[in-house]
Amino acid sequence: MNVTVAEMKANLSEILRKAAAGEEVIVTRHGKPYVKVGPERSSMTKLPRLGAFKGQIKIADDFDELGPEWDEYIK
């Protein structure tokens, strides 16, 4: 979304809500990009809480065993 400085001043709350929701906002000045507004980075990169997938993932007992097709490469 591109907005002018004047539009940013007039609609600051609405534009900031959109930016916080993940929409990239480019503020232009004299028709050229001036500033980019987006969500705060740490809110975008939060890791899932420890154990969030407990009981949802199963690892096969033989997951680390190579099949016979690998025999010629291991020699």
**Quick one: pLDDT at residue 53?**
81
What one-character-per-residue DSSP string does the chain give?
-EEEHHHHHHTHHHHHHHHHTT--EEEEETTEEEEEE---HHHHSPPPPTTTTTTT----TTTTPPPGGGHHHH-
Task: Report the DSSP beta bridge partners of residue 3.
Answer: 27
Model confidence, pTM: 0.53
The 10s digit of each residue's pLDDT in 6-48 is 999 999 999 999 999 989 999 999 999 999 998 877 655 666 7
- Out of 3.40.1620.10, 3.90.930.12, 3.40.50.1820, 3.30.70.240, which CATH number does the structure's domain 1-40 have? 3.40.1620.10
Q: How far is CA 65 from the centre of its chain?
A: 35
